[in-house]
């Protein structure tokens, strides 16, 4: 059971003042004391305590309490005071002839008080009837001559402020005190928890109690009692139950206060205040409440006296959402919707905040005015800017309830689908399918584009088939054919066989501008839809489903950037016609000749094609433009995909920190839980490779170990995840697992028609792992195959990597291959490949010159850019000796012994190892900076980190440590 003194917690100061007042009264000195505060702070409990103390001191105590039900009863409070304990006193006082100006019983009370000091206790004077108020004011005027004290309590401000208030001339010669009660402090709340629950509360629980109850003793007592009665304990894990119970208690207290509010004008004003009190000024709120003949000042006082409002900037305000809900819930639904609609109109006329008006419209009936839709759409933009997607989606869903023309409705549906794609993709897909089935909106291509961004690769064809428009697109009229494992020629990404035959056709057209118009889609829209459906067909997961819908073929003559983007990607993955791929990629990123809005997916395919042509700087500028455009349109889904492609670019160019930042930003826009399984392997692979490049091997292992949906294991992007898993196994010295992952990635890429080593150089890394395991023939076959494919493609980066990969697995002409790799990679944008080639070449030339090894290149391994994993960290001299031994003594390759990294070097990052190896070879900081493409200051910092981690003092000790590692 709670302590009986619970309402008096932290009221020691007030109790001391009241005790002093009682002592003064016993000495025949009058006083007026007023106790004020919000409802539930214990005003009346203090008055009852003072009355008990005065009775114990031998004083006469007369008590009364004003109530809203009796605020029209004449002399209702006076009657309570005069009856008191002596029921014969009231008739005698009322019937006596006094000179009190017609105030019944006043003279008799004053006479009786001269014989025995008297304390009058009046609770809740905010509800005093007018006659009782005038009677008490007359009493206070006579106090200087009578040993009588008046002790009152009030909630908020009385409707008519009593004349005995502090600072009035009436009480200038009488001791007048006003005690304003504050809420409980954190210490008081902790005492309350201990008193009610019988045990101290956890700090987190106590803090939650103080926040939920706002230090109100009445709410605190009732909430803790219910909490304890339900068997809960004051622990941190019980905060949720406490908050729910506190909301119920606050609602019950509000309902009780509402039942006591009898003034219709005050009730209407309270409802209007609950609807828009934080949006409109109080005079406008009063006007919204209705035409009442009640002064504004009286409404203010009535609302304050109810205890349901507080003052905010001098105006009544309802701070608690639970109280606002209780105020409105008793209204009929139609009246409540009408009140919100009238409030929205008024707020719109006074140019209030857009989101505030939109919030009012959310609960209002349709207003049928254009400004409502415009306001809701502006509120949608503001909500997205603030990161509140659910609120933004609610605004657009409410806008669809207004009467709209077909074009505006389609645009609102599209905007809503772009937001819902992240939270409720099923609802978004239904909206997009409706747009795809409806011709004439101008948004069909963009709807299909958004479907592909969300991972829906098949339903667009179904929607077009249902509307009968699929046959209008250019196509072969046969069901879709999926590629088969081991048959890259059957892949849907096969490029045109000869650039000379189709090059001009791709960017020219003989089709009249008006062809295809009328009831069907325009020619430009037809071509966009064909390109998008082909993209969806090559990305989607085939499984075992039977697909009988035809897949449209790409038109031979088209100005469409979407068609150009897809054709550029087809050339890129097939590894042929690099000039044509580059030209088509640039055409895809140029403005549409027909003036149509650009699509996201074809431009992303074009950007990835240009990445493979080593035009990364050009791609970066286009991605920045696309990112700005997506931010303007508030398309989080598009932003996430664009950031992921830019992260791929950073990885390929050896900027893992920038890639990590872009991936983190993409995760904010599109959380992992909202990602479609179709794109999940690509995102995971980027994250893993970025972590490997930054030296965070454990984090990469954690990422790979997380379970993924089954579809993510069997889709077009699965190869990237397999390659990343191989890269991780590679740097963890697990060559068997690495080779299997690389082989699996290669099989999956070939299944989907990707043979270009610029996309994923799985052959060279499978060759290096095979070389480690002693499969020399397989290693050389894979390395030479990649070199042949890279030469056919012609880009510097894959060609240099292929030369470097071949040099790692052959014994003859190794230096010549390394020199070719250095020369080729010097023109490539990926600097880490160039760094590795330079280090390998320096080591090979030194070995060839003096036949002694330098520090093991295990400590100088670096991570290749892009979707290429970690390099093989092996000692070059040991590799050459093994290769020569295999060539001269054994007809079949034998496994090579792997030189392990010395324990002292394993704590260094990849960047520190590179700098340390070059320093041991006698190179100066400026030379190291030139080789590594960094500043001299960066080299100094890396070497300082090396010295600190190895606990040495300079280069001499570093060289000695390296030589010691060789000897060991």
Tens-place pLDDT, residues 381-400: 999 888 888 999 999 999 99
Length of the chain: 968
Residue 895 banded pLDDT, cuts 50, 70, 90: very low
Residue 813: per-residue pLDDT: 81
Residue 719: per-residue pLDDT: 92
Residue 870: per-residue pLDDT: 35
Alpha-carbon distance of 869 to 825, in angstroms, equals 17
Alpha-carbon distance of 504 to 495, in angstroms, equals 14
Mean pLDDT of 512-524: 48
H or E segment at 111?
A: helix 106-115
Whether this prediction's pTM lies above 0.95 is answered by no
What is the CA 18 to chain-centroid distance, rounded?
A: 54
Here the tokens at position 719 are 């190869």
Least confident of 77-81, 432-436, 538-542: 538-542
pLDDT, tens digit, for every residue of 199-216? 888 899 999 988 888 888
Residue 99 banded pLDDT, cuts 50, 70, 90: very low
Nearest one of 629, 639, 561 to 595, comparing CA atoms? 561
Kindly give, in sequence order, each residue whose CB lies less than 8 Å from that of residue 257, ignoring residues fewer than 6 positions away.
39, 306, 307, 308
Residue 829 banded pLDDT, cuts 50, 70, 90: confident
Mean pLDDT of 814-825: 87
Q: Which residues pair with 316 in a beta bridge?
A: 311
pLDDT, tens digit, for every residue of 324-369? 888 888 888 999 999 999 999 999 999 888 999 999 999 999 998 9
Least confident of 49-58, 715-724, 917-926: 917-926
Distances (CA, A) of 865 to 478, 480, 661, 860: 41, 36, 16, 16
Nearest one of 659, 661, 642 to 650, comparing CA atoms? 659
pLDDT for 674 beyond 90: no
pLDDT, tens digit, for every residue of 646-664? 999 999 998 899 999 999 9
Q: What does the CA dihedral 293, 295, 298, 299 come to, rounded to 10 degrees?
A: 70
Alpha-carbon distance of 765 to 748, in angstroms, equals 16
Residue 963: per-residue pLDDT: 66
Residue 306: per-residue pLDDT: 77
Half-sphere exposure of 502 (CA within 13 A, CB side): 19
Kindly give, in sequence order, each residue whose CB lies less than 8 Å from that of residue 549, ignoring residues fewer than 6 positions away.
461, 462, 465, 470, 479, 480
Alpha-carbon distance of 197 to 228, in angstroms, equals 6
pLDDT, tens digit, for every residue of 622-648? 999 999 999 988 889 999 999 999 999
Residue 4 banded pLDDT, cuts 50, 70, 90: very low
Mean pLDDT of 456-470: 69
Residue 541: per-residue pLDDT: 57
Residue 585 banded pLDDT, cuts 50, 70, 90: very high
Mean pLDDT of 755-760: 93
Here the tokens at position 550 are 């035809």
- Domain range 911-968, CATH architecture: Orthogonal Bundle (1.10)
Do 243 and 297 form a contact (C-beta atoms < 8 A)? no
Domain boundaries along the sequence of the chain: 6-180, 186-256, 262-414, 426-477+521-558, 734-901, 911-968
Residue 550: per-residue pLDDT: 65
- Rounded to the nearest integer, the mean pLDDT of the chain is 80
pLDDT for 877 beyond 60: no
Do 769 and 799 form a contact (C-beta atoms < 8 A)? no
Residue 149 banded pLDDT, cuts 50, 70, 90: very high
Most confident by average pLDDT, 164-168, 485-489, 606-610: 606-610
Nearest one of 620, 610, 615 to 646, comparing CA atoms? 620
- CB atoms closer than 10 angstroms to residue 114: 13
Alpha-carbon distance of 814 to 836, in angstroms, equals 14
Residue 563 banded pLDDT, cuts 50, 70, 90: very high
| Superfamily classification of domain 6-180 | P-loop containing nucleotide triphosphate hydrolases (3.40.50.300)
Q: What is the 3-state secondary structure (H, E, C) of 410-434?
A: HHHHHHHHHHHHHHCHHHHHHHHHH
Residue 92: per-residue pLDDT: 55
**Residue spans of beta strands (DSSP E) within 74-227:** 118-123, 148-155, 175-180
- With 0-12 CB in 10 A as exposed, 13-18 as middle and 19+ as buried, what is 2? middle
Residue with tokens 């004391």: 33
Residue 906: per-residue pLDDT: 66
Residue 728: per-residue pLDDT: 94
Mean pLDDT of 797-804: 92
Residue 691 banded pLDDT, cuts 50, 70, 90: very high
Alpha-carbon distance of 43 to 48, in angstroms, equals 9
Nearest one of 727, 703, 713, 649 to 681, comparing CA atoms? 713
Alpha-carbon distance of 249 to 888, in angstroms, equals 90
Mean pLDDT of 118-142: 87
What is the CA 745 to chain-centroid distance, rounded?
A: 34
Mean pLDDT of 785-803: 93
Helices 955-967/910-920 angle, 10° precision: 90
Mean pLDDT of 671-693: 91
Here the tokens at position 343 are 């409030």
Here the tokens at position 521 are 């889609």
Q: Which residues pair with 62 in a beta bridge?
A: 120
- Please enumerate, as own/partner, the contacts of 948-957 that have beta carbons within 8 Å and a separation of 24 or more: 949/907, 949/908, 949/912, 950/904, 950/905, 950/908, 955/919, 955/920
- CB atoms closer than 10 angstroms to residue 269: 27
pLDDT for 601 beyond 70: yes
Query: Strands 315-317 and 31-37, how do they pair?
Result: unpaired
Alpha-carbon distance of 297 to 634, in angstroms, equals 46
Do 164 and 136 form a contact (C-beta atoms < 8 A)? yes
Q: 3-state DSSP: the chain helix, strand, coil percent, rounded to 5?
A: 60, 5, 35
pLDDT for 301 beyond 80: no
Residue 851 banded pLDDT, cuts 50, 70, 90: very low
DSSP string for residues in 897-922: PPPPPPGGGTTS-HHHHHHHHHHHTT
Alpha-carbon distance of 183 to 41, in angstroms, equals 7
Instruction: Give the sign of the dihedral formed by CA 50, CA 53, CA 57, CA 62.
Output: positive
Alpha-carbon distance of 751 to 522, in angstroms, equals 35
Same fold: 6-180 with 911-968: no
Alpha-carbon distance of 326 to 322, in angstroms, equals 6
- With 0-12 CB in 10 A as exposed, 13-18 as middle and 19+ as buried, what is 913? buried
Residue 619: per-residue pLDDT: 94
List strands edge to edge, sheet with 148-155: 60-65, 118-123, 148-155, 31-37, 175-180
Half-sphere exposure of 373 (CA within 13 A, CB side): 15
DSSP string for residues in 612-625: HTT-HHHHHHHHHH
């Amino acid at each position: 059971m709670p302590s009986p003194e619970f309402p008096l917690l932290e009221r020691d100061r007030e109790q001391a003042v009241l005790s002093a007042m009682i002592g003064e009264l016993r000495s025949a000195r009058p006083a007026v004391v007023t106790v004020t505060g919000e409802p539930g702070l214990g005003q009346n409990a203090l008055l009852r305590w003072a009355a008990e103390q005065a009775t114990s001191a031998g004083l006469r105590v007369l008590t009364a309490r004003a109530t809203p039900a009796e605020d029209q009863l004449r002399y209702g409070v006076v009657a309570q005071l005069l009856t008191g304990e002596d029921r014969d006193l009231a008739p005698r006082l009322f019937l006596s002839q006094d000179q009190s100006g017609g105030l019944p019983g006043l003279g008799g009370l004053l006479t009786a008080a001269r014989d025995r000091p008297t304390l009058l206790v009046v609770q809740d004077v905010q509800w005093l009837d007018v006659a009782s108020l005038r009677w008490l004011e007359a009493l206070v005027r006579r106090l200087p001559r009578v040993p009588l004290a008046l002790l009152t309590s009030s909630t908020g401000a009385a409707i008519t402020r009593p004349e005995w208030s502090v600072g009035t001339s009436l009480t200038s010669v009488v001791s007048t005190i006003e005690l304003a009660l504050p809420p409980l402090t954190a210490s008081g709340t902790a005492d309350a928890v201990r008193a009610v629950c019988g045990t101290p509360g956890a700090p987190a629980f106590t803090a939650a109690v103080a926040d939920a109850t706002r230090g109100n003793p009445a709410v605190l007592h009732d909430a803790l009692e219910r909490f304890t009665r339900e068997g809960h304990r004051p622990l941190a894990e019980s905060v949720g139950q406490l908050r729910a119970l506190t909301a119920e208690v606050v609602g019950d207290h509000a309902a009780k206060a509402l039942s006591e509010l009898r003034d219709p004008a005050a009730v209407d004003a309270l409802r209007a205040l609950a609807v828009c009190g934080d949006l409109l000024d109080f005079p406008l709120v009063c006007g919204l409440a209705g035409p009442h003949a009640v002064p504004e000042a009286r409404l203010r006082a009535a609302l304050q006296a109810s205890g349901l409002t507080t003052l905010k900037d001098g105006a009544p305000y309802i701070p608690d959402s639970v109280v606002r809900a209780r105020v409105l819930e008793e209204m009929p639904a139609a009246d409540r919707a009408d009140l919100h609609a009238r409030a929205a109109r008024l707020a719109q006329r006074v140019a209030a905040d857009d989101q505030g008006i939109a919030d009012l419209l959310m609960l209002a009936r349709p207003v049928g005015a254009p400004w409502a839709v415009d306001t809701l759409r502006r509120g949608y933009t503001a909500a997205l800017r603030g990161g509140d997607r659910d609120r933004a989606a609610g605004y657009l869903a409410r806008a669809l309830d207004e009467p709209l023309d077909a074009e505006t409705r389609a645009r609102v549906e599209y905007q809503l689908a772009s937001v819902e794609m992240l939270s409720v993709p099923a609802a978004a897909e239904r909206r997009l399918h409706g747009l795809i089935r409806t011709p004439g909106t101008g948004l069909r291509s963009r709807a299909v584009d958004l479907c592909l961004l969300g991972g829906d690769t098949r339903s667009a064809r179904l929607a077009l088939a249902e509307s009968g428009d699929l046959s209008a697109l250019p196509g072969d009229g046969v069901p879709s054919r999926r590629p088969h494992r081991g048959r890259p020629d059957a892949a849907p990404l096969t490029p045109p066989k000869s650039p000379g035959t189709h090059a001009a056709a791709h960017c020219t057209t003989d089709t009249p501008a008006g062809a295809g118009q009328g009831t069907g889609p325009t020619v430009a829209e037809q071509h966009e839809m064909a390109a998008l459906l082909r993209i969806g067909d090559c990305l989607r997961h085939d499984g075992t489903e039977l697909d009988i819908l035809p897949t449209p073929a790409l038109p031979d003559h088209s100005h469409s950037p979407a068609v150009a983007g897809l054709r550029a990607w087809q050339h890129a993955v097939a590894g042929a016609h690099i000039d044509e791929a580059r030209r088509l990629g640039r055409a895809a990123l140029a403005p549409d000749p027909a003036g149509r809005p650009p699509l996201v997916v074809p431009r992303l395919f074009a950007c990835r094609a240009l990445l493979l042509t080593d035009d990364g700087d050009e791609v970066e500028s286009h991605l920045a433009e696309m990112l700005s455009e997506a931010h303007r349109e508030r398309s989080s889904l598009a932003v996430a995909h664009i950031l992921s492609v830019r992260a791929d670019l950073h990885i390929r160019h050896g900027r893992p920190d920038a890639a990590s930042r872009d991936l983190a930003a993409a995760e904010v826009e599109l959380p992992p839980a909202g990602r479609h399984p179709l794109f999940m392997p690509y995102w995971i692979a980027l994250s893993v490779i970025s972590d490997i490049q930054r030296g965070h091997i454990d984090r990469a292992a954690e990422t790979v170990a997380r379970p993924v949906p089954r579809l993510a294991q069997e889709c077009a992007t699965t190869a990237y995840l397999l390659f990343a898993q191989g890269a991780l196994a590679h740097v963890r010295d697990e060559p068997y697992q690495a080779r299997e992952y690389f082989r699996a990635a290669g099989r999956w890429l070939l299944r989907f028609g990707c043979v270009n080593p610029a996309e994923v150089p799985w052959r060279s890394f499978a060759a290096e792992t095979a070389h480690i395991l002693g499969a020399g023939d397989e290693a050389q076959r894979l390395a030479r195959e990649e070199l042949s494919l890279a030469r056919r493609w012609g880009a510097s980066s894959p060609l240099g990597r292929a030369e470097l990969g071949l040099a790692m697995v052959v014994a003859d002409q190794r230096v010549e291959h390394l020199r070719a790799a250095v020369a080729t990679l010097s023109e490539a944008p990926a600097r880490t490949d160039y760094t590795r080639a330079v280090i390998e070449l320096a080591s090979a030339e030194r070995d060839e010159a003096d036949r002694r090894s330098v520090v093991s290149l295990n400590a100088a391994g670096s991570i290749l850019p892009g979707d290429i994993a970690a390099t093989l960290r092996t000692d070059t001299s040991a590799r050459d000796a093994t290769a020569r031994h295999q060539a001269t003594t054994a007809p079949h390759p034998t496994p090579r012994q792997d030189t392990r990294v010395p324990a002292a070097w394993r704590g260094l990052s990849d960047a520190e190892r590179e700098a340390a190896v070059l320093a041991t070879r006698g190179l100066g900081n400026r030379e190291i900076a030139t080789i590594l493409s960094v500043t001299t200051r960066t080299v100094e910092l890396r070497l300082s980190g090396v010295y600190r981690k190895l606990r040495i003092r300079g280069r001499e000790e570093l060289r000695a440590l390296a030589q010691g590692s060789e000897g060991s």
